Amino acid sequence: MSGCASLHLSSIQREDWERLGPAGRTFVVLGKRWALDSQSSPQVVDVPPLQANIAFAEAYIADGLGSRAGFNHRHYYRFYVNDYTWLMLQLSTGPLIEDERQKLHELGAGGLRFPDNIRTSIAEPITVEIFHRKRKFYSLLAPSVRNIATAIRIPGAS
């Protein structure tokens, strides 16, 4: 996720420097891919991988909903994660050593514990309906997300 945040930040900086217009949105979504092949159903023939990838489709649909659904924050806040990703962030500090846990708590907004400290304080979670299910998206502070990898010492992280 840190790599996604770095890409998001470099993209919005490039757009700002080149005056291309409003910066884009980045969605990080956990989900599953349907295992669709001719063995699972005789009606299934050559389904391209992204068409059966529910996480990809969810991110694509959420981005398409755009500003009218609430995805209209300032560009540093346009880094969104779905509820599954948010749950994984909430559970992620368990296996860490105390030093790493403390560094994560120091990211973003002071006085809050990880991952609440990297959430955008001005934005409530955005609830949308995708595939007939309510999904929540959380707006995160992209600069803080970028620093997660270095806080927990992931090899090769900058």
| 157 belongs to a structural domain | no
Within-domain flag for 156: no
> What pLDDT, on the 0 to 100 scale, is given for residue 67?
87
Whether residue 114 lies inside any domain: the answer is yes
As a whole number of angstroms, the distance between CA 111 and CA 115 comes to 12
Q: Is residue 100 part of a domain?
A: yes
Say whether 141 sits in a helix, a strand or coil: coil
67-92 burial, b at 16+ Cβ within 10 Å, e below that, comes to: eebbbebebbbbbbbbbbbbeebeee
What is residue 18's predicted lDDT score, i.e. its pLDDT? Answer: 55
pLDDT at 48: 61
Structural domain total, the chain: 1
pLDDT, averaged in runs of 10, over the chain (158 residues): 76 60 75 64 61 80 90 81 93 88 89 90 88 92 86 63
Domain that holds residue 113: 2-151
Q: What tokens does 81 get?
A: 């994660």
